[in-house]
Structure 1
Amino acid sequence: MAELQSSLLLRKQLNDLKKNPVEGFSAGLCDDSDIYNWEVLIIGPPDTLYEGGFFKANLTFPKEYPLKPPKMRFLTEIWHPNIDKNGNVCISILHEPGDDRFGYEKASERWLPVHTVETILISVISMLADPNDESPANVDAAKEWRQNYQNFKRRVAQCVRKSQEMD
């Protein structure tokens, strides 16, 4: 039953995005027969270091969606404090619901069933513009962001150039 509800909800969100595209990203299914695996293209937000980049990612939804969050992983190389070296996105709203066992995040900052594909991707775009270097998934990028910003900017610029060359 939960699987049926989650697939109906995801199908509705997909149709909503097709009818009303949101600036900054596009999203669709990796394979039309699997509503739980989405491919995403995030366009580097204007006035950020990522401007002009085209970053591909996958969103993988659990059958328990919307009670549990999806996982997001960038396929395009990206240098960012909140994206680990394998491309996995570490952002509060994608963390399991409830209290953080480390006490870092409030339950209200974590996954809530009201989130949609649109709110997730808008949050990720916002994260690109404003990294959280206090809770990094990529410690090296966070350290560079704080201590050697010029080098950080160079690394990001390389990722943006590479993303423009991908087909």
Structure 2
Amino acid sequence: MASQASLLLQKQLKDLCKNPVDGFSAGLVMRIISLNGALPLLDPLIRFRGFFNAIMSFPSNYPNSPPTVKFTSEIWHPNVYPDGLVCISILHPPGDDPNGYELASERWMPIHTVESIVLSIISMISSPNDESPANVEAADTTDYV
């Protein structure tokens, strides 16, 4: 029997296939628990281009808890840890930030979808937050990715 998370992810993937996000493709990995996606990115202002593959892994209690997103392609970016794990507010657990940096409204909410996550990651890549970097060395340069 399919779990609620699996059913929701199947619907969101179907919606994403019907209304694709420009420059993004997705496919299933490991029975819908993970999505394997590719972002072809091009931005002359920060001098990068290429395809960046990532795995989006969903917990069994999705959408109540956020997925994790990890680039499997090498990427040099202030908001991506050296191991490829993406660090953006909407992927942080719901509720108040124990460190007081983020508002609860900036963190994960069950209304987020695969599409809203992908759009947030695309936005993060083109507009890095170097005030709270996951990769401090990358934040000290202007040559990301």
Which aligned pairs between 1:1-20 and structure 2 lie closer than 5 A?
A: 4-20=3-19
| Match in the other structure for 1:26 | 25
43-52 or 4-13, larger mean C-alpha shift:
43-52
| Match in the other structure for 2:66 | 69
Q: How many residue pairs end up in the alignment?
A: 145
Contact 1:94 1:110 in 2 (8 A): yes
Contact 1:45 1:129 in 2 (8 A): no
| Match in the other structure for 1:82 | 79
User: Higher Cα Rg: structure 1 or 2?
Assistant: 1
Percent of aligned pairs sharing the same letter: 56
RMSD of the alignment, in Å? 1.7
Distance across 2 between alignment mates of 1:50 and 1:77? 15
Distance across 2 between alignment mates of 1:125 and 1:98? 24
| Match in the other structure for 1:41 | 38
Structure 2 unaligned spans of 5+? none
State the TM-score, normalizing by the size of structure 2: 0.93
Contact 1:36 1:62 in 2 (8 A): yes
Kindly report structure 1 stretches of 4+ aligned residues shifted beyond 2 Å: 45-52
State the TM-score, normalizing by the size of structure 1: 0.81
1:70-105 Cα shifts (integer Å, max 9, x gaps): 000001000000001000000000000000001000
Structure 1 position 27, deviation (Å): 1.1
Contact 1:81 1:137 in 2 (8 A): yes
Structure 1 unaligned spans of 5+? 157-167
